[in-house]
Amino acid sequence: MSALGVVFRKELVDSLRERRSLVSALVFGPLFGPILFTLITSYAVNLQIDEAEQPIEVPIINGEGAANLVSHLFRRQIDVDHERFTDVDALRDAVRRAEVDVGLMVDRDFGEALATGDAARVWIVADMANNSARPAFARLRAALNEYGLGIGVQRLALRGVDPSLARPLAVLTDDVSTPSARSVLLLGMMTYFLLFSALLGGTHVAIDTTAGERERGSLEPLLTLAASRAELVWGKIGVTFVFMAASLAICIVSFAVAVRFLPLAEIGMTATLTPLVCVGIYAVMLPFAALGAGLMTIVASFTKSFREAQTYTSIAMVAPPLPIILVVLNPVQPSLPLMLVPSLSQHLLVTELVKGEAFDPWHLAVSAAVTIAVGVGCGLATVRRYRGEAILV
């Protein structure tokens, strides 16, 4: 067996005996992301469904003269309360204090204005700085607009005018997206958790094989073995890569299981995380494990204790997934230049897989080559550091 193989086997056995490494790579890293994602997404979806289906209560002032309007709101699952407020200022104060989401004030001349064909006035009392009240405001406003449109159509028809003349432009929507493509709106952040899981899965191994050995005093005897510094470093990086790859695989499988519990069908979405898609996601993401192994090893090699290494690797762990957050805020389409950015290229390719769309093979090749090259560069930098005497200080 070569010296590289001996080092790899030694570090692998030591890491398997280390409880923190196993928990991080096989439990916490790959399971934390899917569980958190499922809980947050399930809550958001159920909240959206409840907001669309559950009736809301709206206090109303001067509603006695708008019986037809009240009936229309009731049919739209908006219950009006005539007795709670009789003073406008009291209603406005209650909305400002968030005691109620929205209120409705009807003009005293509402019925007369409708009878004479004038514009009947109503006021929605709302606090637009209160985000939690926005859904109720939107539902009430949409119901009022629908009521006003219906009255306008009836007035035109009574005067012998075709109501369609008042709407010369009919704007229709032809949605060509598939249910699986729409699921990306919710599953788009899955890649962030996959990247984080890969990094977290091997970070403890990278720390233990570098800073941990310096802290225990076992690094100097290790450097006296009949193995080159390069073989020592690549053996350590290889073990870190194995743990990151295992953590990534478990995380993907966890996501495939977790999305089955999300009520995506109720909002017109479908998650197509089939075994074949999961294999494709793993193939796309695996080069990032090589980058992560090299990055965490070089960062940890500059530290002298386990605690210090944890601090620096935690900071380094934030940087790789950062492009994904930027893309979520400013969406872009996959292109060859973007494949030159590690983590971003993986995110774009995984998104295409989740949508069920084919991507350019050159995109995958460039993404993998650049990502692995960055990981190799980090490894070469680590070898250079191990060849210096400063590693023992």
Task: Tell me if 248 sits within 8 A of 201, measured CB to CB.
Answer: yes
Residue position matching structure tokens 């809301």: 56
Dist. CA 174–CA 355, nearest whole Å: 18
Q: Are residues 231 and 339 in the same domain?
A: yes
Supply the CATH number for residue 144's domain: 3.40.1710.10
CB 282 within 8 A of CB 353: no
- For residue 327, what pLDDT band results from cuts at 50, 70 and 90? confident
Q: What is the predicted pLDDT for the residue at 372?
A: 94
Of 64-68, 95-99, 177-181, 334-338, the poorest mean pLDDT is in: 177-181
- pLDDT, position 185: 62
Mean pLDDT of the chain: 80
pLDDT value of residue 34: 76
Q: What is the pLDDT of residue 22?
A: 64
Q: Which of 134, 166, 198 is the last residue of a domain?
A: 166
Are residues 252 and 286 located together in one domain of the fold?
Answer: yes
CA distance 112 to 229: 92
Strand bridging mode 122-126 / 102-106: antiparallel
Residue 103 CB neighbours (<10 A): 24
Please check whether residue 310 lies inside any domain of the structure: yes
Domain presence at residue 68: yes
Query: What is the domain range of residue 93?
Result: 55-166
From 166, 188, 208, give the residue that closes a domain: 166
Q: Highest mean pLDDT range out of 29-33, 155-159, 161-165, 205-209? A: 205-209
pLDDT of residue 155: 78
SS3 state at 210: coil
Beta bridge partners of 102: 126
**Residue 113 included in any domain:** yes
| Same domain as 107, residue 14 | no
42, 60: one domain: no
Most confident residue range from 46-60, 105-119, 236-250:
236-250
Burial 254-273 (b: 16+ CB within 10 A, else e): bbbebbeebebeebebebbb
Q: What confidence score (pLDDT) does residue 288 get?
A: 93
27 and 87 co-located in one domain: no
One domain for residues 93 and 194: no
Distance, CA of 71 to CA of 127 (rounded, Å): 25
Other CB atoms within 10 A of residue 9 CB: 13
Per-residue pLDDT tens for 253-283?
888 887 787 766 666 666 777 888 889 989 9
| Predicted local confidence at residue 119, as pLDDT | 82
Summarize the confidence of residues 150-173 as an average pLDDT: 76
318 and 252 both lie in a single domain: yes
Q: Which residues does residue 60 pair with via DSSP β-bridges, in sequence order?
A: 104
The string of DSSP letters for 256-295 reads HHHGGGS-GGGGT------HHHHHHHHHHHHHHHHHHHHH
Token couple for 219: 């690094």
Answer whether residue 240 is part of any domain: yes
User: In terms of Cα–Cα distance, which of 41, 54, 386, 61 is closest to 235?
Assistant: 386
Residues 198 and 124 in one domain: no
Percent of the chain with pLDDT over 90: 9
DSSP structure class, residue 83? S
Q: Are 61 and 85 in contact (CB under 8 A)?
A: yes
331 and 190 together in one domain:
yes
47 three-class SS: helix
Residue predicted with more confidence, 9 or 48 = 9
- Helix, strand, or coil (residue 26): helix
Q: Tell whether 361 and 232 lie within a shared domain.
A: yes
On whether both 187 and 315 belong to a single domain, the answer is: yes
Q: What is the pLDDT of residue 373?
A: 94
80 forms beta bridges with 58
Q: What average pLDDT score do residues 379-393 get?
A: 77
170 contact partners, CB below 8 Å, separation of at least 6: none
Averaged pLDDT, 168-192: 70
- Per residue in 71-89, pLDDT (tens digit) is 888 888 888 888 888 888 8
Residue 103, in any domain of the structure:
yes
Residue 338 lies in a domain: yes
Report whether pLDDT(178) > 60.
Answer: yes
